[in-house]
Amino acid sequence: MNFDLTPEQDQLRDAVRALGRRYGHSYFVGKAKSGGHTTELWDEAGRLGYLGVNVPTEYGGGGGGLTELAIVCEELAAAGCPLLLLVVSPAIAATVIHKHGTEEQRKRFLPGFADGSLKVVFAITEPEAGSNFHRLGTVARRDGDDWLLSGRKCYISGVDEAQYVLVVARTEDSATGKLKPALFLVPTDAAGLTRSKLDMEIVSPENQFLLYLDDVRLPADALVGGSLDAGLPALFAGLNPERITVAAMGVGTGRYAIERATDYTATRRVWGGRSIGAHQGVAHPLAHAAVQVELARLMIHKAATLYDAGRDLEAGVAGNMAKYAAGEAAALAVDTAVQALGGAGMTTEYGVATLLGAVRAGRIAPVSREMILNFVAQHVLGQEKSY
């Protein structure tokens, strides 16, 4: 059992950390509050190869795995720049296309993922069905050689920055008549696709949208994998990378909050010249949060290692646990940091309260803590399914 990164992974971590700190949390917040996007950071990360670390070398990527992409997500978040599009584009969409796309789709899309010039967002969640693909209302039907997509999606991240949306729809199997999921690459400027921005109480440069698909016409090659049989495996292919990279982003955010708080408490002096960090009432909550963040970090490492080894079932369990642990740890770390800083913790200047909304959302999305507990109860503890 080895907990050490390889020399190459260590170099990646150091390089991404340095990049993130050159931009920093003030850059992130400034973009969010002005309605802008972190385009400069994204483009530079792409040029340096950090966005394509998990893309095979034959398509222009770094040839690494999810472990490397999790490092990128964690270190940018630890620098105060948690980029949600790292989860939906390189982690979910690039993985789906790499593992289940046609060779033509790989050649067409993966080089853009590798250098960051292509952003593809992911659309599964619906107003009525949530993310339960068994009850999705978005339907794809054939019209000659084309497909027509109709339905609604909600809480879709970054549509205004992306060239494509990877849409999960339901199709009818001509042999059985049963509905089955299929994934389609839909251009964001396609006729019949409209969007409406959702106002969120989260400080983030990445926006959330409602999507409306009204008979969006797509060519046959928009179907991921070129076959309806590819739909279910393609859908599941994106779930473990999603959970693991979201967890890495949460742990990075927790590390950032604890660093901000400990820098402050080590130098802030109020009583008798001693730093407030010398008092256990301040130090112990921060130490507890640091322990929880490090425990979550270990589970992320385990989940990514299992995933990269091709042990998908075990990675699914570890990935869900990592996402749960990181969501709880990040929320605890940010809240504890705010408390340690007192009134300063609620200011924009000190850069911790700006993360409260994001870490609270991390306990809900992309899968809620309650559904993860259901998963663990059923698949680890052998309990009867409760839902």
Q: Residue 131 is encoded by which pair of tokens?
A: 């993310």
Question: Which tens digits make up the pLDDT trace of 157-176?
Answer: 999 999 999 999 999 765 56
Which amino acid, 128?
E
What pLDDT, on a 0 to 100 scale, did the predictor assign at position 173?
63
pLDDT digits (tens, 9 = 90+) for 76-99: 999 999 999 999 999 999 999 999
For 69, residues 6+ apart whose C-beta sits below 8 A from its C-beta are: 53, 54, 86, 90, 91, 241, 245
228: nearest Cα among 294, 156, 180, 185:
180
CB atoms closer than 10 angstroms to residue 116? 21
Supply the pTM of this predicted model: 0.96
21, containing H or E segment? helix 7-34
pLDDT in tens, 335-386: 999 999 999 999 999 999 999 999 999 999 999 999 999 999 999 999 999 8
Per-residue pLDDT band at 53 (split at 50, 70, 90): very high
Q: In which residue are the tokens 């967002």 written?
A: 121
| pLDDT tens-digit map of 9-26 | 999 999 999 999 999 999
Q: Kindly provide the b/e burial profile for residues 225-252, where b requires at least 16 CB atoms within 10 angstroms of the residue's own CB.
A: bbebebbeebbbbbbbbbbbbbbbbbbb
User: Considering the chain, what percentage of its residues have pLDDT values greater than 90?
Assistant: 91
Residue 358 has a pLDDT of: 97
According to the model, what pLDDT value does residue 136 have?
85
Q: Closest Cα partner for 315 from 131, 94, 95, 133?
A: 95
Angle between helices 66-78 and 39-47 (to 10 degrees): 140
At residue 114, the pLDDT reads: 97
CA distance linking residue 380 with residue 4, whole number of Å: 28
pLDDT in tens, 111-148: 999 999 999 999 999 988 777 777 789 999 999 999 99
Quote the CA–CA distance of 326 and 288 in Å, as a whole number.
14
Any residues with CB less than 8 A from the CB of 277 and at least 6 apart, and which? 262, 265, 266, 268, 283, 286
Q: Most distant CA pair in the chain: distance in Å? A: 81
Average pLDDT over residues 61-89: 98
Cis peptide before 285 (omega within 30 of 0): no
Beta strands in 29-131 (DSSP E): 120-123
First-to-last C-alpha distance (Å) of the chain? 37
pLDDT digit string (tens) for 292-344? 999 999 999 999 999 999 999 999 999 999 999 999 999 999 999 999 999 99
Take residue 113 and report the two structure tokens written for it.
């993922």
